[in-house]
Structure 1
Amino acid sequence: METRVLTVTSLGTWRTSNQSINLDWVTDPKYTSVKIINSKLTYYVGDTLFHEVIARDGNKRRKVYGGDYLRAVLRDNDQKASTTGRVRDHGNGRYTVSFLLSFPGRSTPDVQLIHPSEAVQLLRELREIPNKRRWSCVFEGKQGQDVTKTCTHLANQSLSLSSQCDFSVLNTSRTWFYEKPEVTACNHITKCRSAWDIVDRLVTSDEERQLFDSPFFRTNLVPATNGSIIVSNIEENATLARSLPLCQPGLPHSEYQGFWFRDSWHSLTCKVQQFSPQDITECLANRTLQFRGDSTCRQWIERLGALKIFKEGQGDKQSRLFFRHYANNRSNIQATFKFHTVPIQASAWWRFQKLSDAGVSTEIERMVGGTNVVLVLSLCAHFTAEPKHVYSNRMYEVRSAIQELHKKYPETSVIVKTCNTRHHQHYRESIQMSDWLADQLNQEMRGILGDLNVAILDVWDITVSQRYPPNIHPNVNVVDNELNILMSYICSGMKTP
């Protein structure tokens, strides 16, 4: 087991030299204040609403440093409308929350403490510790006697390298190590699945665990006064989305991504249209779609199958989790989904492939592109528990592969989906899969892929502001609205009713 080494913070005395935590110094939502700072009787669509948040600890003292992870959503439940606010951290315990008022009606701001700054610091430190996850892998033994060994994504520092099998591909992020089996060869590995047994050894104190539980986790901040506001239209049917560009690669990242209104997502980035199943079929006619990544884009292809856009080919239950093939012969549509390679967080068994032959970047390099080929990528959820360099290296490999694909087939459409929010039931899930971690990966992905000829399909605000409970696999209505964005990128400018 790797030794946990943490740096003692100089920000206050919430953690002492022996790493014990004083929860009275932690940001406390009970005493943290929220108030509107540009209050008026009536606001108009297009105005910006500002709130000030002052963080205080359990002793009601104002915090003198920032770093709290806040989330803000403006909601009108009667109209099934909502939008995400932007949070500016001033670094001194003061935060400014801004909402672009995008729909008329009576709305209520909801500002939430997702993590206090102390939990964020702990997450940042724990993120860089390797092998917070382990896998049980099966090796085919002699005379049918299978052997099970523990595997790790990075080399196990508690074992000598000579006692580990190394399946890594040189100069890539595709790494895999496991203790050598005594009675069979390294290359007899057949399948793996996740084993949860590490986080409890890293987060050892009740105080550390408390940071990821009530009242410090996902707690609403109480506004100083009645927070509801009235928003009116300047003119009848006024909208912020009248002069948006078509959905295409290279669009700048919008500060405000869009808003929900009457259960439909209205983008403020580009012209997103509403697609019926017939519209989708017409859009995808004579196209090949290659979905590569995790189960959040598998959910997209499953939904398209459920809408009868195409039919799924044959496959056993286990392989369907990691590979799908669909076709619509009448409209000449082909679509495939394939899961990315390690790390894979899954309780189900998955077949281990030789890493030199597996992986999204390898598949892209071998892909035949063209005008009617669409590549959809989603790489996020399974990387949140890894040190930052693991994800960065994977993204640089994907970047290089996309560049090579576009050299050979410049007309190939490449669409990259961001991370979305998820549910967290236990502190172990927060440590390994916090939304803060996913948010960091979104920023890293934009920084690495953002200047390529790719469309970045941002679903973060959609899932932050949805009216449904957070889930790594969102409600079907959220998926349908995400598919409207996807189709708007694939068939930009197509006329729909």
Structure 2
Amino acid sequence: MMNDTEINDFNHHTSATASKMSLVNPQKVYTLNETIRVKIVLFDHKNRPKTRGGDMLIVWMRDKTKGAALAGSVIDHDNGTYTGTLRILWAGHAVIRAGILCTREKMVFMQREFKKGYVGKNITCLFHAPNLTEITSGHMDHTFLRMGQVCNLTDKHYGVPLYCDKPKKNGTQCSHWTSINSVPFVRMTLKPNSEWFLKTAGPDTLPGNITVHIPSAPNPTLSSNNPCSRTNFRHTWLSNPAGFFHNSTWRPLSCFNYITGNDVDRCLANRTLRMFGDSTVRQLLTFLFKYQNLTWRIGPKDTSSNFIPTSKWYSYSEAHNKRFHYTVFWSPHGLPMSFEHANRTAIRPSFVHLDEIPSGSRDIVLINLYAHFLFFPLHMFKVRMKHIRLAIERLLRRSPNIKIAIKGPHYFVTHDPHFSLGGMWGPVYAKIIRQEFVALYDRVIYLDLWDMLVSVENANIHPSEQLLMTMLPTLFGYVCIK
């Protein structure tokens, strides 16, 4: 891809409005558990067929009258054509749609921007010496070591690359580093021939749709009789699709769960739910605070709609249930998250926290890294996931009864294309996670929320309260034995 030549000629780019979708071997009616295939042919903005692959597509189908929705999978034939596959899991009818998640040209463009040194966040390092304070630029990529006059703070940053420009004031040294700021986002500066990048902000849906009919049956949906708490965790990594909605209720394909608030209390009794991630995981803490009658202990409490934390939310937060004696806490996953005047302890990466969990723990751990890494080159995410995987292996050896879940990327729409690609790179990050954890499929739960949010066309980076009400029971269904 990096050798593509016509990247800045918008007429050569894939056009959703010019592209076409059709049924493969169409039938008048379909039956439960049958697979529907659609052929997608991509065209550029001059209505010329694309002759190579590399575009990232999604397909999904819905029956809004039944609260039913399902995401499919897409095969790239590397010639401009794609096959979408969807499994029929409910009776009635379904409307099939397809969209271009990200064009090949956009992916190439962002890779080149990262290679040229663009990052989407402005990191600054604060140095404090007696009667002296200085702020310098910070970097997280090893390429900045070549600049020469930098403080290599990697060792102080728990082995995660961190380089700060050396302070210039006499008496201020690298050893005087105290804290980090990483709040401001950095808008891309585009040349006139690259302004096409701003033409579209999110996934582009192909015109039209396909409606299929599925006759009623004694059992109107296809679902499992096996409780999720008793299923092998491997299924959470391999199930395709991960599940589907029916009656506005999410149903994992490989198992079933029905979790109430009382079940959650009994499950968490005398334990700690440890959550590491960004604001989308922080939402889960405030959701549990509201619905599980928790007492707030530590950290900023205020939230706006959909449990989105407000100002200076990015510090450790904790709540407690007195009756059942359990604690729920959230901690940021470390840089490149947003921090303001955060010291070395506050920006600890999540794998450091994992190493601090004591032997014999029966706690529940939820980890999510995604949105903030979208502003940085992919290799940074790969390295961090390796750190986490190694920490999890150590944790499982000393605490074999602990429950660990990795929350995968979630689908959302990017509203401002000035800042990288947002949710359009989800499948790339999911693939990295799956490859890194392949040896732990039997020991670690994978919360595959991508299918869930694609199927209902979620737009917001912070999912709605209704979706949070679906995500948490999915987690607890695997870790709580009823």
Residues 309-353 of structure 1 show CA distances to partners (whole Å, capped at 9, x for unaligned) of 422204356665321112112212122211112111x3x625131
How many correspondences in the alignment? Answer: 465
Gapped regions of structure 1 (runs ≥ 5): 1-5, 16-20
* 1:409 and 2:399 aligned: yes
**What residue is the counterpart of 2:316 in the other structure?**
323
Note closer, same or farther for the CA distance 1:434–1:398 as it changes in structure 2 (3 Å cut): same
Whether the 8 Å CA contact 1:294–1:340 is kept in 2: the answer is: yes
Partner of 1:3: none
In the TM superposition, what is the alpha-carbon distance from 1:88 to its structure 2 partner?
0.7
1:128-185 residue CA offsets vs partner (Å, 9 max, x unmatched): 5555132234444654x74333222225749732x22221128976122222223334
1:351 and 2:335 matched: no
The equivalences for 1:208-223 within 5 A come to 208-214=194-200, 217-223=202-208
Q: Which TM-score applies when normalising by structure 1?
A: 0.86
Mapping of residues 292-441 of structure 1, within 5 Å: 292-316=276-300, 320-344=313-337, 346=338, 349-353=340-344, 358-370=348-360, 372-429=362-419, 431=420, 433-441=421-429
Question: Do 1:172 and 1:394's aligned partners in 2 also have CA atoms closer than 8 Å?
Answer: no
Establish whether residue 442 from structure 1 lines up as the match of residue 430 from structure 2. yes
Deviation of the 1:97 alpha carbon: 0.8
Report what 1:288 is aligned to.
272
With over 3 angstroms needed to count, the CA separation of the structure-2 counterparts of 1:66 and 1:159, relative to structure 1, is closer
| Amino acid aligned to 2:19 | T
Residues 79-111 of structure 1 deviation map (CA, whole Å, 9 limit, x = unaligned): 222111111110101111111111222221111
2:6 corresponds to which of 3, 9, 14: 14
Alignment of 1:96-495 (within 5 A): 96-130=83-117, 132=119, 133-140=121-128, 143=131, 146-155=133-142, 157=144, 160-161=147-148, 163-169=149-155, 174-183=160-169, 184-186=172-174, 187-197=176-186, 199-200=188-189, 203-206=190-193, 208-214=194-200, 217-223=202-208, 227-243=210-226, 246-251=230-235, 252-271=237-256, 273-316=257-300, 320-344=313-337, 346=338, 349-353=340-344, 358-370=348-360, 372-429=362-419, 431=420, 433-452=421-440, 453-467=443-457, 469-492=458-481, 494=482
- State the distance in 1 between where 2:380 and 2:111 align: 14
1:8 maps to amino acid: N
Report % sequence identity.
20
Please state how far the C-alpha of 1:293 moved relative to its aligned partner: 2.4
1:268 is displaced (CA, Å) by: 0.8
SS of 1:427's partner is: coil
Q: For residue 122 of structure 1, report the CA deviation from its aligned partner.
A: 2.2
Aligned pair in 2 of structure 1 residues 316, 78: CA closer, same or farther (>3 Å)? Answer: closer
Secondary structure of the corresponding residue to residue 479 of structure 1: helix
Give the 3-state SS of the residue equivalent to 1:195 in structure 2.
coil
Say which SS state the counterpart of residue 99 (structure 2) adopts. strand
1:454-497 Cα distance to aligned partner (Å, 9 max, x none): 11111111111125x422210111111110111111114x1xxx
SS in 1 for 2:391: helix
- Which residue pairs with 1:18 in the alignment? none
Kindly tell me: are residues 316 and 91 of structure 1, through their superposed partners in 2, closer, same or farther at Cα, counting changes over 3 Å?
A: closer
Pairwise CA RMSD = 2.7
> 1:228 & 1:53 partners in 2: Cα distance?
16
TM-score, normalising length from structure 2? 0.88
- Give the letter for the 1:276 counterpart: T
Q: How many Å separate the matches in 2 of 1:281 and 1:484?
A: 12
Structure 1 letter corresponding to 2:241:
Y
d(CA) in 1 for partners of 2:213, 2:452: 23
Q: Per-residue CA shift, 1:435-454, capped at 9, x if unaligned? A: 34332111111111132121
Matched-pair contact (CA < 8 Å) for 2:123–2:180: no
Deviations 1:260-308 (A, max 9, x none): 122211111332x232222211221122211122222222122111113
8 A contact 1:131–1:153 mirrored in 2: no
Query: Conserved in 1, the CA contact under 8 Å of 2:239 and 2:253?
Result: yes
User: Structure 2 CA distance, aligned partners of 1:27 and 1:319?
Assistant: 41
The whole-number CA distance in structure 2 between the counterparts of 1:486 and 1:371 is 18
SS at 1:62 equivalent: coil
Aligned-partner Cα distance in 2 for 1:173–1:464: 36
For the Cα contact (< 8 Å) 2:414–2:422, is it kept in 1?
A: yes
- The amino acid that maps onto 1:192 is N
Contact 1:136 1:195 in 2 (8 A): no
Q: Distance in 2 between matches of 1:243 and 1:44?
A: 23
Alpha-carbon distance change, 242 to 274 in structure 1, aligned in 2, over 3 angstroms: closer
Take 2:411 and 2:359, find their aligned partners in 1: how far apart are those partners?
31
- How do residues 77-96 of structure 1 correspond to structure 2 at under 5 angstroms? 77-96=64-83
Consecutive unaligned residues in structure 2, runs of 5 or more: 302-310
Query: Residues 157 and 451 of structure 1: is their aligned pair in 2 closer, same or farther, counting only changes over 3 Å?
Result: closer
Find the residue that maps to 1:446 and give its secondary structure: helix
What is the alpha-carbon distance in structure 1 between the residues aligned to residue 185 and residue 399 of structure 2? 43
Rounded Cα–Cα distance in structure 2 between residues aligned with 1:199 and 1:359: 27
2:15 counterpart residue number: 28
Amino acid of the structure 2 residue aligned with 1:367: I
Partner of 2:43: 56
